[in-house]
Amino acid sequence: MSDNVRKVDVVVIGGGPGGATTAATIAAEGRSVLLLEKTPFPRFHIGESLLPYMAGLLEQMGLLEEFRSGGYVPKCGAEFTDPTGMFRRVSFEDQGPGRHHRTFQVERAHFDNALLDHARKAGAEILNPATVDELILSDGRVVGVRYRHEGQLHEVRAEYVVDASGRSGKTAQTFGLRRSVDQLRMVAIYRHFSGLDEGENPGEQGDIQIGNHDEGWVWAIPVSQDTISVGTVMHKDTFRQGDSEKIFDDHRGRVPRIAQRLSGTRASTKVRIETDYCYLADQLAGPGWFIVGDAGCFVDPIFSGGVYLAMVTGREAGRNIVAALQNPDLTESLQASYESFYKTGYDTYFRLIHGFYDFKFDFGAYRRALPDHIDEWHVALLLAGDFWSQGNALARYLRDNRSWDTFAPFEYYYGCPVYPDLELLERVGADA
């Protein structure tokens, strides 16, 4: 290594919620962190609806009051509706006492930028824009990255590289780790509409709406007082059958309660398309590297878990890296623990979505088919983010279905990252 090559404790690739949370977690412990983000912030991003457990996570991070006062749309429930106008609402108050019953719908440009600022304030160095060209390997270990910033090629060495690069997946590409989940290979078409008047909303103000129809499902998410995000999700074969704007308009018009909510609005962004929706990697950590969030797995956004999963895996990766830097002899066990944590969360979320898709996007039919011992409390908890619970009856039911296995066999990690004491009490109660 030449004398002019930089050296830091950790390099983080990607400045989205997962990367920013990882960087903040590590920097807050006094470690040197360089975060490299290729896209200038603030920037548009999909995934505007947050889970209720996000409120608890933000509280732990000392950010909840900041976001409460940030003008975000409060979200207290989710409405599932169909082409006949029938609907079923899940209220987050059904989680019971001790948990936050509301979260936010957000404009990701502002939300992600605020998280990046939090990482900077914690002590992380942020370079934005900076594009990572390649990982640097030495004897099979990742020891740094080469990146471009302000027209110059740079090299930085680190004890650990954290890949939070989202769907680009620099580490997964380098090591050939990613594989698709063919049952969930969908296409999304989406755009924003302005001129929203929630007086036209037939349901609860601020709720996300999820509407099913014969060929897919539609989301409607209010992201500000006058702007709503609308997306249509379908199988690839449906997408190939026509013009994307025409398909989008057709599909969003099939759900009457969403169409009513959009009364008087006008398109304010161009149509955007996301393809090859769902994938995973069975290895999430290795010599000198960790993967967090979408860089390792991407799951259909139907239940809005992406930001939460990215941030909790980012925080867990950060904590395990700090522990490994302090105690190198524990590195392998810390990485194994992290992989179990990551896979448990994503596996539970995958299963929740597999069940929904098996019932052709009809949440009402899905709910009616569940065993009698699964009540509204279990459903509300799981939809809120209770992915690491051993006591949740719905989570246990989903994990017992071998047809929904995604990862290679692994050991589950139980213990909620947001409400650990409540999860432990409920686990004991379920086993009593």
How open is the CA angle 161-164-165, to the nearest 5 degrees? Answer: 110
C-alpha to C-alpha distance for 207 and 166, rounded to whole angstroms: 27
Q: Taking residues 259-287, what's their average pLDDT?
A: 93
Contact criterion met (CB below 8 Å) for 111 and 43: no
Cis peptide preceding 420, ω within 30 of 0:
no
Query: What is the helix (H) or strand (E) element at residue 212, kind and residue range?
Result: strand 208-213
Is the pLDDT score of 4 beyond 70? no
For residue 254, give the nearest of 238, 278, 271 by alpha carbon.
238
C-alpha to C-alpha distance for 97 and 389, rounded to whole angstroms: 17
Q: What are 340-387's pLDDT values in tens digits? A: 999 999 999 999 998 888 888 888 888 999 999 999 999 999 999 999
Q: Which pLDDT band, with edges at 50, 70 and 90, does 277 fall under?
A: low
Q: What is the per-residue DSSP string for 54-115?
A: HHHHHHHTT-HHHHHTTTPEEE-EEEEE-TTS-EEEEEGGGG-TTS---EEE--HHHHHHHH
Which residue is associated with the tokens 């909303």? 201
Q: What are 203-240's pLDDT values in tens digits? A: 999 999 999 999 999 999 999 999 999 999 998 888 98
Q: Please, which residues have CB within 8 angstroms of residue 167's CB and are 6 or more apart in sequence?
A: 294, 295, 298
Is the pLDDT score of 202 beyond 50? yes
How open is the CA angle 367-258-99, to the nearest 5 degrees? Answer: 50
pTM: 0.94
C-alpha to C-alpha distance for 163 and 18, rounded to whole angstroms: 9
Q: How many residues does the chain have?
A: 432
Q: What are 402-431's pLDDT values in tens digits? A: 999 999 999 999 999 999 999 999 987 776
The pLDDT of residue 222: 96
Strands 208-213 and 77-81: parallel
Cis peptide preceding 40, ω within 30 of 0:
no
Is the pLDDT score of 142 beyond 60? yes
Is the pLDDT score of 276 beyond 90? no
C-alpha to C-alpha distance for 134 and 142, rounded to whole angstroms: 10
Contact criterion met (CB below 8 Å) for 180 and 406: no
Q: What are 285-306's pLDDT values in tens digits? A: 999 999 999 999 998 878 899 9
For residue 235, give the nearest of 367, 130, 357 by alpha carbon.
357
Domains of the chain, each with CATH number or no CATH: 6-72+107-180+278-336 (3.50.50.60)
> What percent of the chain has pLDDT above 70?
98
Is the pLDDT score of 3 beyond 70? no
Which residue is associated with the tokens 């995934």? 47
Range 292-326 burial, b when 16+ CB lie within 10 A, else e: bbbbbbbbbbbbbbbbbbbbbbbbbbbbbbbbbbe
**CB atoms closer than 10 angstroms to residue 8:** 18
**Per-residue tokens: 155:** 């090299």
| Residue 394 three-state SS | helix
